[in-house]
Structure 1
Amino acid sequence: QLAGQRVKTFNISFAEDAYSEARYARYIAEMHQTDHHEIQLSPAHFLEHLPAALESMDHPSGDGPNTWMVSKATKEAGIDMALSGLGGDELFAGYAIFPRMARLRKMQALWELPIPLRKLAGKTLVSLRPGVASAKMASLLSMSRYDFDNAYVQSRQVLSDKQIAGLLTQPLPPGHLPVEWLQEQGWEGSDQHLLSRVSAAEMETYMQNVLLRDSDQMSMAHALELRVPFMDHQLIEYVLSLPDSIKYPSTPKKLLVDSLPDLLPSYIVNRPKMGFVFPWEHWLRNELHSYADERLKMLDKNESFRKGEILKLWGAFLKGDPRVTFSRIWPLVVLAEWINS
């Protein structure tokens, strides 16, 4: 409306429909009459451009290639500056971590039970419902007491401290564990602002150290200027000051959705949330299997890793172990390629 011309919009689509938001992007594009560009990405196309994407990094990241691909297509369409929605989930409670932390706070009485009893409950949960969520809950129940920093980090870590220690030949030096870094931030807030505390943790960790860094590097690799309007400091200060009841009365990003009543139809608002994730689960077991297998075997020979542990994790993923998802594997593949290059 402000531009006075058709805005260009971009979306990456996949043949694997479960991972593709193409139909939703088309719906919004038609509704607002944008000049829409749909980028169809296949595993073969991805592999063709992956070396160039990794070459653009000064820090290995499993998320980086996603942004590199869409930045490339945007620049090739003649765009020099683009807007990103990065920060919307972190600020307006869009991630699953927000209601999860709220539930954990309501369950604090559990940590008054004896540790042996809590550990037994955790083991029972894992045996009845094996998977990442159960394993994390069991780990939380084994904490000596409940505290926000440890609960948040354990809920958000891809690999637990124990798993990391099991992969490495040398322990991480003091100050390198996520919980140690988070505790140094010293966020203070009332019980009304738990979600703001989660927002602050998200912005100080995953968003700052991964998403913003990747977005900057991957867009500038194509001389594309990327702008993140949700990161306006006045907007952040205002939203963080609001109580939880306004930001998340029952559904995620309620405050943001209500501010755009005529722009977002219910078809879009009420659909299941999807992140900007490639079909890694399928690709790593099929088209990317050989590529990943070769690099993980190479990483397994690196002196920083315990012999056989990387391949054990890879094997568990290929066998369908619900505790080992693509997010445990793909970053290791990227790390191997980054070290090699």
Structure 2
Amino acid sequence: MCGIAGWYRRQGRPVEQADITRACDTIIHRGPDDSGVHIDRDFGFGMRRLSIIDLEGGHQPIFSEDGRWAITYNGEIYNHPELRAELDAWGWKFRTNSDTETLLAAYVRWGDDAWSKLEGMYGVAIWDAKERRLTLARDPLGIKPLYYSLQQGGIAWGSEIRTIRTIPGHEFSIRARGVHDFFMFGHIGKPRTIWNEVQSLEPGHVLHIGAEGEPEIRRFWHPRFEARHDLSEAQWIEATREEFMATVKRHMLADVTVGAFLSGGVDSSAVVAAMASHASAPIKAFTMGFPGTSIDETDAAARIAKHLGCEHIILPLEPQDAGMMLPQVQASHDEPCAATAAVPVWHLSKLAAEHVKVVLCGEGSDEIFAGYKRQRTALAAARSAPYLRALAPLIAGLERIPFGSKRLNYLRQNARRFRMSAMLDSNFQRFFQGTQISTPWVREELYQRGFYERQETEKPFAALEAEYFGWPGARDMHPLDQFMLADLTVHMPSSLLNRTDRGSMAHSLEARVPFLSHKFVDWSLTMPREMKLHGKTGKYALRKAIEPWLFEGAIDNRKLGFQLPFAEWFSGGFSSFAQEAWNGSGASQAGYLDNQAVEKLFAEHGAGLANHGRILYAIAMFSIWWDQNIDAR
């Protein structure tokens, strides 16, 4: 696990070692154990290393025996022992025991065909000194980040945007569409970033660029929903148990102690239970608690940890503590981040890093096994669409009636959202509606008029569907598959995996996600839909598969997720942190949001007339980001 950075200046213009060292030093948190830099005239790259495998011999960059090829990479390849045996037989003379050298050998042997053979997470840079050709690649699900910028005839790249911003002569301007993305979803829609001049290499893509010309980018993996019907229910459940046990075992590969995050829900409980069956010592399990709130899961997690014989460590998080750490959490991101779990992941990672270097997490299960409530709601909306279209005028009239009761007001808002969802044309559009943190009518009031008119469209969800899923055949997919595909390819890399990577790596902690091995994902997408969503029960096969590992009723609780209790906290003292962040920030004068509208949101939420917790949190984090990146500069 590392952080990487580089600059291919091209045109014979020299790259100085100091330029690469400076870029790498901005991500020392990703790799405090070691560093390395390689300069080849107008090319240079480097890394910061967190030693996990081959602690002594895994120094990067690693070179081929003839010196032609060199690699720096961030990630882990879990099937590298098997690949290593094949490459050894081919004739590669290994000089280390690291997965980095295995990856380099695989690329030299197979070229771009190597990517489909790897099981792991990675952002990788490979330099061909003979052809003067750079290759950048990112793992299929986007677990590890990789950004690049094309400026001054060259290309700069890095695991985090901050590495690129150190490159001499490069300029950066705020992308207005990125600001709109953020206040709509709480993150910037990839491959865009908050900067006009920077974009992310998309998951499952490889980029090649030589001494002349534009980069060539192509996709080497994409999810395929191809359900099989050759197994019985019992066979699917047993196959789920076996496949999951195997992927967890591979993800435990390390020369250091591996722990786990445990929330008490299905996903993390499944991971810890599978780990316990493979481990020779008690698993160190880490849990975040929210004392006195409706989403506190510490009791459930404690019971599961005790049942599995874990060494269980609980970290409570109070509103005043969360408010104080908001600047640190935002500083761990290059872009404004309002992910619901950004604060707890950052805080829990800080605790875990005091005990282990690696943790396994449960991210990805909801996306591949239909575990989200919003997926079920979208299906219900799709089925209700014909009836609601007929009743639309009556419902719209009822929605305009002002309710004095807080409960009735919430019901009116939820009814309005459901009606709008039913009126949409596909579950791709319902996905975008279901993952937004602000509604179109809130944004119409919140945005300053000019910004609103430039960014908002009459049919925003249809526009987003066309942007991300406009390819032939997308509309022919089953509605559940549409929603799952959107979750897996849009929300996962843009938000969920981003906050997991940044929150953990801020404390030099490697977070692994066994549900998101692309080989396990490929297998899961062959499962029939009824084995995922069984009536109203999501993740049906997974639940049944892990039942024998846990006690009765262990995973019957409603899904709470790894998040902050926004509604409760913003009704109390946490609100003052957010308001102070906004009022004291240059963001309030930046021309994006209307100050009076912002104050109205705080007032409505404080009075209990609406739940604006998500958008208020986003306003606070944007304000902090602005001060750290714009005003400070």
TM over 0.5: yes
Contact 1:108 1:146 in 2 (8 A): no
Of residues 206-215 and 48-57 in structure 1, the stretch that sits farther from structure 2 once superposed is: 48-57
Of residues 289-298 and 3-12 in structure 1, the stretch that sits farther from structure 2 once superposed is: 289-298
Secondary structure of the corresponding residue to residue 260 of structure 1 = helix
Larger-gyration structure (1/2): 2
2:353 is equivalent to residue 75 of structure 1: yes
2:392 is equivalent to residue 118 of structure 1: yes
Contact 2:338 2:621 in 1 (8 A): yes
Q: CA RMSD in A?
A: 2.6
Contact 2:428 2:483 in 1 (8 A): no
Q: What is the correspondence of 1:1-341 to structure 2 with a 5 Å cutoff?
A: 1-63=277-339, 64-77=342-355, 79-110=356-387, 113=390, 117-124=391-398, 127=401, 129-131=408-410, 132-140=413-421, 143=423, 146-169=425-448, 170-171=451-452, 172-173=454-455, 179-183=462-466, 184-186=468-470, 188=473, 193-250=478-535, 251-298=537-584, 299-322=587-610, 324-341=611-628
Amino acid at match of 2:420: S
CA distance in 1, matches of 2:552, 2:514: 24
CA distance in 1, matches of 2:460, 2:345: 27
CA distance in 2, matches of 1:156, 1:55: 24
In structure 2, the CA distance between the partners of 1:59 and 1:301, relative to structure 1 (3 Å rule), is same
Deviation at 1:69, TM superposition (A): 0.7
Of residues 297-306 and 245-254 in structure 1, the stretch that sits farther from structure 2 once superposed is: 297-306
Q: Whose RCO is larger (CA < 8 A, sep 6+)?
A: 1
Of residues 175-184 and 159-168 in structure 1, the stretch that sits farther from structure 2 once superposed is: 175-184
In structure 2, the CA distance between the partners of 1:224 and 1:60, relative to structure 1 (3 Å rule), is same
Of Structure 1 and Structure 2, which has the larger fraction of its residues in helix?
Answer: 1
In structure 2, the CA distance between the partners of 1:125 and 1:48, relative to structure 1 (3 Å rule), is closer
Of residues 22-31 and 271-280 in structure 1, the stretch that sits farther from structure 2 once superposed is: 271-280
Deviations along 1:114-157, one digit per CA (max 9) or x if unpaired, are xxx5143134257474324222124346x4x6333333322332
What are structure 2's unaligned runs of at least 5 residues?
Answer: 1-276, 629-633
CA distance in 2, matches of 1:186, 1:266: 45
In structure 2, the CA distance between the partners of 1:259 and 1:216, relative to structure 1 (3 Å rule), is same
Secondary structure of the corresponding residue to residue 547 of structure 2 = coil
Deviation at 1:315, TM superposition (A): 1.1
CA distance in 2, matches of 1:98, 1:17: 25
Contact 1:140 1:151 in 2 (8 A): yes
Runs (4+) of structure 1 moved beyond 6 Å?
Answer: 189-192
CA distance in 1, matches of 2:428, 2:469: 10
Amino acid at match of 1:161: P
Deviation at 1:223, TM superposition (A): 0.8
In structure 2, the CA distance between the partners of 1:210 and 1:230, relative to structure 1 (3 Å rule), is same
CA distance in 1, matches of 2:374, 2:581: 32
CA distance in 1, matches of 2:400, 2:541: 36
Amino acid at match of 2:330: L
